[in-house]
Every structure is written in C-alpha cells, then in structure tokens.
Amino acid sequence: MKNGALPPRLTEEGRFFENLSFLFQPPASDGPGTRTGGTTMRILSGIQPSGALHLGNYFGAIRQFVELQNTPGEHLYFIANLHALTTVRKGDDLRRYTMEVALNFLALGLDPKKCILFRQSDVPYHAELNWILGVLTPMALLERGHSYKDKLARGFSADFGLFAYPVLMAADILLYRADQVPVGKDQKQHLEIARDIATKFNLAYVEGYDAQDPEGKESRKHRPGLLKLPEPLTLDASAVVPGTDGQKMSKSYGNTIDLFGTDKELKKQIMSGIVTDSTPVEAPKDPDKSNLFMLLKLFLTPSETEELRQSFLKGGTGYGAYKKQLLEAFHAAFDPARQKRAELEKDMGAVEAILQEGAQRAEAIARPVIEEVRAAVGITGR
C-alpha cells in the first residue's frame, strides 16, 4: 500500500457495521444515487461521540460514508450525542467528544459540500419521535434486546437510557423514512425492533392499516403506514473488526486502536496491546485464529493478504515483526488525515458553522414526517 493512501475498498467479506452506527439507503436503483424510477437516493447514518474514534469505526462506517458521498443523492451523517448520554455522564466530555467526531469526520474526508453533517441533538425531532414511539413500545420487546442483556452482563447499570436505546435508534431510522438498512450480524435485531415499533404506531394511528400489507398495495381498503417499515440489507459475510484482545473492537471493551491518538499511545496499543499466543518465532502460525492477522489484512490488497497468510503458515517471522508492519501500515494510511485534523482544529468556529448549517438542512428534510406524526397522534391539528 502506498504512503498516504487509505486502505483498499472493502469487499463484502470485509465490510461490517458496528452497533454504534447505521446506514440507510433505498432498495433497487437505476444507478448510483437514484431509486428505480429516477428519484433521488437518501443515505443517512450516525455514530456515537462516546470517546476516541478507532479502526473499527473507520472500517465499519466512516470509510463507507466517504465513499457514498461521492454518489448522487442526499447524504446525511449525524453525530449521535443523544445516544452517547447512556455512557458519557460529564457535559464537558460530551461536548469535547462531539466536536472531536466532527473534526475526525472532516479530516477523514467528509465534505460538507457533498453531504450534510450535523449533531443529533440539533434536530429536536429525533427526541420528540423517540417519546412518541416510546409510549407504544412494550417493555417485553426491549427486554429481549441482545445488546441490553450483554451490557448488563458486563456490569453496566440497568438504567432507562440503556434499556430504551433501541427506541431512539428506531426514531432515527423512521424519522427519515428509510427504505433499506444495511446491517451487520450484531445490528439486525435493532432493525427488527424498529420494524415492530413502526408497525405498532401504524396500527394505532393509521385507519385501514394492515400489518400484512404495510404499503397498502394489496387492497384498496388498506392504507399505507405513516411510518415506513425498513428492510434489512444483510451482508451474510459481514465481519467484526477485532480489538487488541480478539473481541470485537469497542470502546466499551477497552481494546481499541485509536485513529487520532498520539504516536506514543498508538505504538503502545499496537506493540504492547495486541494479544498473541506463545507460538515460537520459527513455528507456523494459524492466520484464521490471529486477531493480528485480521487487523493487518484491513490495510492490504487481496494479493498482499495472501502473501501475509503464507508467511504466517510458513513460520520464521515473530509476532513482533507483524506488529511493526501493522504500525507502519497505520501511519502510511492515516498520517495525512491526522495532519489535516491538526489544521482543522485551529478554527473550531468553522467546524461549528458546518454543524449548524447541516442541522438546518437535516431539519428541513425531517420536518414533513414529524408534522404528519404530530397530526396523527393529536398533538397538533390537521
């Protein structure tokens, strides 16, 4: 890989979406940026500002954001600071994390001329729809949440925010009438919950709605739902980027490789943080059981990946050498973005202006949906 070049575009085998981000797009199209029939595609996704961005965030979401903004259509990317309240309990920290995400997005290639970048909390309709949907959501539905149960098992407190997290995620999706949601294997249940909630809303507030005919196409007696049921676009081979300990890379697990940490921090995370087994230098090593191999392949072309695989199988190279290779690959890929971020940080007023303009544009898109919802539930007149 050449210096200054970001890692090669991921194939389906290397594409994934972490549970702190989601991406929406319409189904079959006439070409990039258009739905069948020629209408414009809308893509929206969000990411939590709950700490430093890491490799999992980049390969799982941000890389796709940058690629997709270069296709025709509307591209909305938001910083999910309302979601982050479940884990960040200091106001100054959340403000700092939020602006850091904005800086990082811009440094990594998001262009406000090509996309809409905004803070979730700057569009109040997310919170409003969250409450409206929440009053219809059964507790039993949320109690089945895999993410909720997993975090309880890991010692997180069982508070309302953690419990009702999927309702806000549903509001984020349904507010923009997403047609299709590409999801990784750890994300599919959140989409199923969003569909369940949308169905409950439509049954309660749309006269003539039939859950078996949600778009009202099968009978003239059926009316389409006010809230569209999104369909999953599941990537069967979707992967999870491993952390330094072999689990999924996550801030919650403390196993990340941060994109914008200091050189010293980065070296420590890679050289000391990545867990390996005790296989001797000269012995063959199983690449399929090595989180170090999986991290390295993110930066390699298919042919380079195969060369690395053969090197593991042959033996004669220690894990320390592979860690140095990963450190060098990281710097070659991300040092230009790290330098750009330092320049952007000199004018935070300009970054704030981008977020404010983005919020105004996003609000204009979401307003018709929330106005229809308000009228349906009776909190405004028709």
pLDDT digits (tens, 9 = 90+) for 340-359: 999 999 999 999 999 999 99
Residue of 2, 221, 228, 251 marked catalytic: 251
116 beta partners: 76
Do 283 and 276 contact (CB within 8 A), yes or no? no
Which residue type occupies 150?
D
Which pLDDT score is estimated for 6? 56
Q: Which tokens in the block code for residue 44?
A: 């929206």
Residue 340 appears among annotated catalytic residues: no
Confidence at 186, pLDDT banded by 50, 70, 90: low
| Residue 360: partners with Cβ closer than 8 Å, 6 or more residues away | none
**228 catalytic per annotation:** no
Q: What residue type is assigned to position 350 of the chain?
A: A
Q: What is the pLDDT of residue 237?
A: 43
Token output for 149? 């149960």
Question: What pLDDT band is residue 188 in, cutting at 50, 70 and 90?
Answer: confident
Measure the CA angle with vertex 145, ends 141 and 149; round to 5°. 130
Q: At what angle do helices 91-107 and 319-344 cross, to 10 degrees?
A: 100
State what percent of residues in the chain have pLDDT above 70.
Answer: 85
β-sheet bridge partners, residue 21: 47
Work out the pLDDT band at 183, boundaries 50, 70, 90: low
- Token digits of residue 298: 């993110």
Q: How far apart are CA 382 and CA 371, in angstroms?
A: 9
Q: What is the pLDDT of residues 233-257, one digit of tens each?
A: 654 444 578 999 999 898 878 999 9
β-pairing verdict for 42-47 and 21-24: antiparallel
Instruction: Specify the higher pLDDT residue, 146 or 120.
Output: 120
CA separation for the pair 339, 354 (Å, rounded)? 20
Assess whether pLDDT exceeds 90 at residue 296: yes
Which of the following is catalytic: 90, 114, 185, 248? 248
Average pLDDT over residues 62-77: 85
What is the rounded average pLDDT for all residues in the chain? 86
Per-residue pLDDT averaged across 307-336, rounded? 97
What is the reported pLDDT for 20? 40
Q: Is this model's pTM higher than 0.95 or not?
A: no
CB-based contacts of 173, cutoff 8 Å, min separation 6 = 22, 24, 181, 191, 194, 230
- For residue 273, give every residue at least 6 positions away whose Cβ sits within 8 Å of its Cβ, in sequence order, or none: 244, 255, 257
C-alpha to C-alpha distance for 164 and 100, rounded to whole angstroms: 26
pLDDT-based confidence at 28, cuts 50/70/90?
very low
- Catalytic residue list contains 248: yes
Element (H, E) at 66: helix 63-68
Q: What residues does 31 pair with on adjacent strands?
A: 34
Active-site entry in 90, 113, 151, 285: 151
Domains, in order of start, for the chain: 17-234+348-377 (3.40.50.620), 251-344 (1.10.240.10)
